[in-house]
Structure formats: structure tokens, C-alpha cells
Amino acid sequence: MFSLLSDKLDDAFRKLRGLSHISESNIKEAMRDIRMALLDADVEYSVAREFIAHVKEQALGEKVLKTVKPGEQIVKIFRDELTELLGGDAAGLNLTPPARVLVVGLNGAGKTTTSAKLARRLKAEGHKPLLVACDLVRPAAIDQLATLAAQIDVPVYTPSAAEKDVIRVAKDALRWAEGQEHDVLIFDTAGRQEVDEPLVAELRKLAKFLKPQEALLVADAATGQQAVRVAQTFDQAVGLTGIILTKLDGDARGGAALSMRAVTGKPIKYIGEGEKLDMFGPFVPQRMADRILGMGDIVGLVEKAAEKIDEKSAMSSVSRMMSGEFNFNDFLNQMRMMQSLGPLEGLLGLLPGFSKIRKMLPENALDPKRMKRMEAIVLSMTKAERLNYKLLIPSRRRRIAKGSGVSEIEVNRFIKNFKEMKEMMGGKGPMGSMMKNMMKAHGGKMPAMPGLPSGNGGAPTGAGMPDLSAMMGGDAKPDMSKLPDLSALSELAGMGGKNKAPRIPKGFGAFSGLFRKR
């Protein structure tokens, strides 16, 4: 969702990177461009103005390090100020048992789904949540929550369809909960298309009765500055303790995320980045700031992989790839692993520098339908063909094209990309030799990614993440030399060492094949 803002900020930072020194006159134009980029992203005007003033004050008062370019130091200052604007440190929930969590918001923001997502996450963290359906207005809201609760195996209290008194529902739910083993009660409440007095009055009464430890506003990230006004209204009614931003996987400009914390003083605690119940996680200001600046979120990427990917299966795939035994069955498994991690564009957006890479990729390379077509191609092969691509003579390729419903040209391109990936990642290829040497040096295991603990300590390594190259297709390969130099910025940000090109996590393997010059 921050792609437009990221692109405009990068244009502004380009003017700063060549500065030999910092002065008010030579950063004036860039600061104006940055302010306009924030306003275009729907950041509230006073927030944008004060933010730029802070950055400018810090930049002019900062002593430039000898090893760092002045322009890069301003980017570092911008990153730090952006992190602070987003809340500084990540904010958790107050779940002193038995905790009561009130979920509020407008219709369409995703309250009911978010309530279920929160319950699922808390359950995975060892809590025993219960859900309570308090939305007595929207048709089918109660049935929706019951359906979602069944999917995540969490008990839910559902009133009768004729019930209209939300306080009576809450009382009955509390009595019901006494007979259930639990430590968290999550109340999904009613919303409206617009904030109105009946809604506010009902929520005020419910909050007064429940006295919840947490009152969380579910806000659609696409609503822009309106979300700030909505947050202020709900805060006055129920005393918000935090915000959950939804639909960050969309094309919203992102201003709500940057404005709400500053205007309301309430932390953003969680974000939703997709419709699936597992596409939900904590909001970490520094990681979000890095994503906005095109620096990616490697930690978040590894956490996703650790949660979704079977490490034994992934390591087996890596070993087969390096031994030259990698086949279409392995590729199909990797592709399904990729699909389990969410939309491809969102996943790759966590890689440093991907905002630049995206512009250099072949057209429609990130189209979700592309993966479905590739899956159809593999499924149209015989067992023998999946094990040995050399069997795919022209007549067989024509049969596969008909069986999968794609053109023969697309089948040929897919097989060509697979062959290149297999050769490059095989034991005799440059990437394969490098990975084999790394595994040999680490006792036969993939080493941990830079800046992360090793797998022995329980933290995820990068080894489980699937290969991406053949999934992208196309003949055009982006040139890594066109990406910005982030070395000085990475040193200042504590990323460690030189980073003149985006770091590709171990196990992403042949994704680097995208960057070879043709």
C-alpha cells in the first residue's frame, strides 16, 4: 500500500544523496518534495508539517559522520523520525486475565474478521480466547462470527436473531463464559456506514458496563484522513487503547497509518494484510518505517516463513536443488509453499529494494493468476515428465499446453526458466557451489540470515523459504546496478556491513537469477 509514497520519497532522497554538506538552502527543495509526498499520501496536514520541521531541525543540528554521506545521514534521520511518528516501540495488549477486549469500528472496516484473526493469534500465543457476537445490527454478522470461530476452533457466544439489547447480550455472555475455560473475551460490536449518535451511545453504554482492558478501533487503511476523525470520535466514546489497521495489502496511500498515532496518541497494535485469518500480525513501527523507505522487512519475512513452511521439507528441497536432482514435483511443492505465505507482491515487498526491482520485472510477473497457470502446466505433465524435463519434446509440450489451457509459448518459457534455475542452483552452478560451501562450513546446515539468531536457538533461518525465479518468467532481467546504494544507510541503521544491493535471504536461491544481465 505504501508503493506510491515510497516512490515519491525515493525521488526526493535522490536529490539528497549527492550533497557534499548539509545546509538549510540545499535541503529546502528536497524537504518540500518530502512534505508534498506525505500530503499526497493523505497524511494529515499538521502532522506532515510538524514532521518535516523535526527532520529539518535534526538534519541541520546533526554532526555529519566522516564515513557517511550527508544525504544518507538525512535519510537515516528521516527513518528515525518516521519510526517515532509511527509510535516508536511496538505496543502489546493488556491481557491481565480475565481480559476483556472491545472491538469497535465502522461497517466495512473488517471488525468481525479482525475479531476472529485476533482470537486466532492469541490462541497461537498460548491464550484461551472466547468470542462474543455483539453486532445486533448487521444482517448475518452473528452467523459470520460463528463460522469464523469454527474455522479457528474458538468457542463463541451467539445471541438469538431477535435479541436487540446489547447490554443483555453482554450479561448473558459473561455468565456463559464462567462455564468456559478462558483468559480473554473478545467482543465484536456493531458498526455503521458513518459515525452516528445511536452507535456512539450504544458503545458508550457497553464500554461502561464491560470496563474492558482493551478497546481496539478497527480502521480501514484506505479511508485516509477520515480515519483520523473516526478514531477521535470512538476515543471520546469508549476510551480507545489501540488501533488495528486493516487492508494494508490494498492500494491505499497509507496516510492513515502515519496520521492516526500522531493525532490520537493511540498506538497501532496490529495490522491486517489480507482476507485470510492468518494474515494478521503485530504492528512494529521500525519495520513499517523500513518498508516505507524501501528497506524491506527481512525479520517479518522470516517469521512468515517459519510459521508456514515445513523446515524438513524445505531443507530436503534445498539439498535436492544443490545436488541437481530438483524436479517439477519439487517446484510444485515450493510454489505451494509460496502461495501459503500470501500474495507474491506482498511477500516480495518485504525484500530490501523491491520497490526498484518491481519496476524492472516483466509485465504481469507478479500476477497471482500466473502461479495458477504454472501449477496447471506442471499438473498436466505425466509422472515421468515431472521427474525429467528432458522428456519434454515439442509434441509433449503441445499436449501440456492444451491440457493446462495456456499457450505453447508460455509452456516453452516456463520450461526454459526452470532449466536455467536448475543449472544455476545445481551443485556445479555458481549459486549451488556457494550454497554447498556455506552448508559445509556450518555442519551441513544452512546458516542463519545476517542479523538473526541461528536455527539452533529456535529462531528461523532463511533456509526454508522457497525459490522464486522460475515463477517470475519473462526474458527481461532487472539490472541490480540500477538499485540505490544503501551501504551508508544500512551502517547507520545498524543493519551491519555493506549492503550495496538488496540482500536476498538464504533459500530464496535462484531469485538472484532475475538480476543477471542478458
- 1-15, 28-42, 488-502: lowest mean pLDDT where? 488-502
Looking at residue 267, its pLDDT comes to: 92
| C-alpha dist (Å) from residue 320 to 305, 351, 433, 437 | 19, 25, 13, 15
Quickly state the pLDDT bin for 85 (edges 50, 70, 90): confident
Confidence (pLDDT) at 506: 39
Question: What is the chain's length?
Answer: 518
Other Cβ atoms within 10 Å of 20 Cβ, number:
9
- Give the C-alpha separation, 391 to 53, whole Å: 65
Residue 310's pLDDT band, with cuts at 50, 70 and 90, is: low
Instruction: Tell whether the model's pLDDT for residue 99 goes beyond 70.
Output: yes
**169: nearest Cα among 190, 154, 200, 148:** 190
Residue 158: all three cell numbers together = 451467539
Chain position carrying cell 517479518? 300
User: Where would I find the H helices in 442-505?
Assistant: 469-472, 487-492
Residue 222 scores a pLDDT above 80: no
Edge-to-edge strands, sheet with 280-282: 156-157, 129-134, 184-189, 99-105, 214-220, 242-246, 268-272, 280-282
For range 125-137, the mean pLDDT: 95
Q: What is the mean pLDDT of residues 261-268?
A: 86
Q: What is the CATH number of domain 299-484?
A: 1.10.260.30
Report whether pLDDT(154) > 70.
yes
Question: What average pLDDT does this structure show over 477-495?
Answer: 38
User: Across 228-232, 283-287, 430-434, which has the greatest mean pLDDT?
Assistant: 283-287
pLDDT at residue 261 greater than cutoff 80? yes
370 HSE (CA, 13 A, CB side) = 21
Q: What is the mean pLDDT of the chain?
A: 76
CA-CA distance, 509 to 469, in Å (whole number)? 8
**19, pLDDT greater than 90:** no
* CA 422 to chain centroid: 29
Please check the confidence at residue 354 and state whether its pLDDT lies above 80.
no
Three-state DSSP state, 353: coil
Q: What is the rounded CA–CA span in Å between residue 309 and residue 190?
A: 37
The Cα 474–Cα 413 span in angstroms is 7
Position 507 confidence tier, pLDDT thresholds 50, 70, 90: very low
C-beta contacts of 387-391 below 8 A and 24+ residues apart? 387/327, 387/328, 387/329, 388/327, 389/327, 389/328, 389/415, 389/418, 389/419, 389/422
Residue 380 has which C-alpha cell? 498436466
Q: In sequence order, what are the beta bridge partners of 214?
A: 101
Q: Which of 126-135, 425-434, 480-489 reaches the highest mean pLDDT?
A: 126-135
108: left (phi over 0), alpha (psi -120 to 50) or beta: left
Backbone φ, ψ for residue 125 (5° rounding): -85, 0
Distance CA 115, CA 318 (A): 38
Give the residue, 142 or 32, on which the prediction is more confident. 142
Residue 444 has pLDDT above 80, yes or no: no
What pLDDT, on the 0 to 100 scale, is given for residue 6? 76
Highest mean pLDDT among 80-89, 180-189, 460-469: 180-189
Q: Let me know: does 187 contact 118? Beta carbons within 8 Å.
A: no
pLDDT interval class at 86 (50, 70, 90):
confident
Residue 226's pLDDT band (cuts 50, 70, 90): confident
| pLDDT of amino acid 467 | 46
* Residues in contact with 318: Cβ distance below 8 Å, sequence separation at least 6, in sequence order: 435, 446, 463, 507, 509
72 and 17 in contact (C-beta within 8 Å)? yes
Pick from 157, 230, 173, 237: which is nearest to 205 by CA? 237
Q: CATH fold of 99-293, please? A: Rossmann fold (3.40.50)
Q: Say whether pLDDT at 358 is over 50.
A: yes
**Are the C-beta atoms of 299 and 452 separated by less than 8 Å?**
yes
CA distances to 328, 426, 514 from 377, in Å: 10, 23, 21
Sign of CA dihedral 454, 456, 457, 461: positive
- Phi and psi at residue 358, to the nearest 5°: -55, -40
- What's the predicted TM-score (pTM) here? 0.69
Per the structure block, which three cell numbers stand in for 212?
Answer: 474492558
* Fold designation for 3-85: Four Helix Bundle (Hemerythrin (Met), subunit A) (1.20.120)
pLDDT of 286 reads: 86
Q: What is the band of 501 on the pLDDT scale with cuts at 50, 70, 90? A: very low
- Domain limits of the chain? 3-85, 99-293, 299-484
Structure confidence at residue 296 as a pLDDT band (50, 70, 90): low
Query: What does the DSSP 8-state code read for residue 505?
Result: P
All 3 cell numbers of residue 59?
A: 538534519
- Candidates 191, 234, 183; CA nearest to 213 is 183
Please choose, from the candidates 281, 141, 285, 115, the residue with its C-alpha nearest in 3D space to the C-alpha of residue 212: 115
In contact, 105 and 217? CB cutoff 8 Å? yes
* Three cell numbers, residue 181: 475455560
What is the average per-residue pLDDT within 117-139?
Answer: 95
* Range list of β-strands (E), 144-294: 156-157, 184-189, 214-220, 242-246, 268-272, 280-282
Please state, in angstroms and rounded to a whole number, the distance separating the CA atoms of residues 301 and 347: 7
Domains 3-85 and 299-484 agree in fold: no
Q: Flag whether pLDDT at 122 surpasses 90.
A: yes
